[in-house]
């Protein structure tokens, strides 16, 4: 595939070639963008490379994320003197199988069959990969996949919380008269207002309290679970979040902060230093002492994310859990270890906790967390 304007006979072809080049690097460039690029040139902006670059950038880029890529592509394509440039982008395109040079056909969406088949195949493997990753235990994800999984997870979780938000919006049984709807629905009665339609504020979202175990044994999971909390935060205004290992720390206010990563790195460094084992019971005790009255009520749901490997006393844990249980509507315990085949809740802490818990589920993979939706829908 041509990677420089010099490979084309005339300006029009060169510009269309650039559109194709950009598209082959995953930029969102379609027919309309290509047409607009031609228009940009015909406006005279092509006289000066600087302005040509500015203009095409605004047409081809759809987000701040692809500005850097665009700049590289532009330089590669329009500024290569004679030989193809050796940048990483071009290496990628050279490895690719040469695509048939039927540009006009490609543009109207009838590219060569061979090309189409190749793309299909890669799509399938991509989809397979996603399916597989969704079921993979977080602790077994390789470094290469982890960035991809993180992106995928955030995406899916955000979709989930968006769906949850929609559910919350319905149900209006009381409120002020919605005059517009009232007139509409009473047209059939000759305009006599028999049936009143009401409108109400969106109901207050009920509170969600999340306690995340960040001790050493949870290390691999807490990274993803924290992102899950962040995704929920986008749609649940009333979210209270805590992390604990040997001490309980409230992180609700940090969830809004831009520097969350930094804050957490700082916090967890501190936590590790103190840790001689997880003290779930003691942490729940301090939660009950300091926060429970404020943050728990009959409408709240409490989620504990922990593997239940406790070094404290089981009695304490059980007692504190039952305190929480009395204050909250539903108590959910998510244990990543539960995803392992043959797992039995034999750990002392987990055993003590089980009788107090309403729902006991696993949270080891993306899919297992997505299954939580049905519980969250009733928050």
Partner 1 sequence: MIKEVSGFIESFDKLGYVVDEELATILFLMTDLKKPLLLEGNPGVGKTEVANILAAHLGTELIRLQCYEGLDVHSAVYEWNYQKQLLSIKIQESNQKSDIEKEKHIFGKDFLMARPLLKAISGKTKSPVLLIDEIDRADEEFEAFLLELLSVYQISIPEFGTIKAIHPPLVILTSNRTRELSDALRRRCLYHWVNYPDFEKEVKIVHKHLPDIDQKLSEQLVSVIHVLRKKGLEKSPGISETLDWALSLHALGRKELDEESFRRSLGSVLKSYADTEKIKAEGLAKLMEESNL
Interface ranges with partner 1 (CB under 8 A): 28, 30, 36, 39-40, 43-45, 47-48, 50-51, 54-55, 57-59, 61-64, 67, 158, 162, 179-180, 183, 191, 202, 234, 257-259, 262
How deeply is 63 buried, as exposed, middle or buried, from its count of CB atoms within 10 A (0-12, 13-18, 19+)? exposed
Choose between 51 and 343: whose C-beta lies nearer to partner 1: 51
Least gap, CB of 140 to partner 1 (angstroms): 29
Choose between 67 and 265: whose C-beta lies nearer to partner 1: 67
Give the start-end residues of each E strand in 108-180: 176-177
* DSSP conformation letters of 190-206: TT---S--EE-PPPPPP
How far is 378 from 364, CA to CA, in rounded Å?
Answer: 22
Least gap, CB of 242 to partner 1 (angstroms): 20
Least gap, CB of 264 to partner 1 (angstroms): 15
Choose between 128 and 259: whose C-beta lies nearer to partner 1: 259
* DSSP conformation letters of 95-123: HSPPPP--HHHHHTT---HHHHHHHHHHH
Choose between 75 and 158: whose C-beta lies nearer to partner 1: 158
The two three-digit tokens of residue 231, written as one number: 């995704």
The two three-digit tokens of residue 378, written as one number: 């009733």
How far is 216 from 277, CA to CA, in rounded Å?
Answer: 8
Choose between 64 and 269: whose C-beta lies nearer to partner 1: 64
Least gap, CB of 203 to partner 1 (angstroms): 13
Choose between 173 and 192: whose C-beta lies nearer to partner 1: 192
Q: What is the DSSP letter of 207?
A: P
Q: Where does residue 96 fall: left (phi above 0), alpha (psi -120 to 50 degrees), or beta otherwise?
A: beta
Least gap, CB of 179 to partner 1 (angstroms): 5
Q: What is the DSSP letter of 244?
A: E
Least gap, CB of 258 to partner 1 (angstroms): 7
């Amino acid at each position: 595939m041509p990677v420089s304007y010099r490979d084309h006979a005339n300006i029009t072809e060169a510009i269309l070639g650039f559109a194709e080049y950009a598209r082959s690097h995953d930029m969102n460039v379609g027919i309309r963008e290509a047409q607009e690029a031609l228009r940009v040139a015909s406006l005279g902006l092509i006289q000066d490379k600087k302005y040509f670059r500015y203009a095409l950038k605004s047409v081809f880029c759809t987000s701040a994320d692809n500005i850097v890529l665009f700049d590289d592509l532009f330089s590669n394509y329009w500024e290569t003197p004679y030989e193809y440039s050796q940048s990483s982008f071009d290496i990628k395109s050279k490895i690719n199988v040469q695509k048939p040079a039927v540009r006009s056909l490609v543009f109207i969406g009838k590219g060569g069959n061979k090309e189409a088949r190749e793309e299909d195949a890669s799509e399938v493997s991509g989809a397979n990969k996603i399916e597989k990753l969704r079921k993979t235990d977080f602790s077994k994800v390789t470094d290469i996949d982890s960035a991809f999984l993180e992106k995928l997870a955030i995406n899916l979780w955000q979709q989930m919380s968006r769906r949850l938000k929609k559910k919350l919006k319905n149900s209006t049984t009381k409120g002020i008269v919605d005059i517009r709807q009232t007139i509409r629905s009473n047209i059939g009665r000759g305009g006599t207002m028999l049936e009143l339609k009401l409108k109400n504020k969106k109901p207050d979202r009920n509170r969600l309290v999340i306690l995340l175990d960040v001790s050493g044994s949870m290390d691999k999971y807490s990274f993803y679970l924290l992102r899950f909390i962040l995704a929920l935060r986008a749609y649940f205004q009333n979210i209270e979040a805590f992390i604990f290992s040997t001490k309980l720390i409230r992180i609700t206010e940090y969830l809004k902060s831009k520097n969350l990563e930094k804050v957490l790195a700082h916090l967890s460094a501190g936590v590790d230093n103190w840790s001689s084992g997880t003290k779930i019971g003691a942490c729940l005790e301090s939660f009950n002492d300091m926060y429970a009255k404020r943050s728990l009520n009959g409408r709240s749901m409490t989620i504990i994310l922990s593997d239940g490997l406790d070094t404290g006393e089981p009695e304490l844990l059980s007692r504190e859990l039952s305190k929480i249980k009395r204050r909250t509507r539903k108590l959910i315990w998510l244990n990543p270890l539960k995803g392992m085949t043959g797992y039995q809740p034999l750990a002392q802490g987990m055993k003590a906790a089980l009788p107090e818990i309403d729902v006991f589920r696993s949270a080891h993979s993306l899919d297992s967390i997505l299954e939580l939706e049905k519980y969250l829908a009733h928050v």
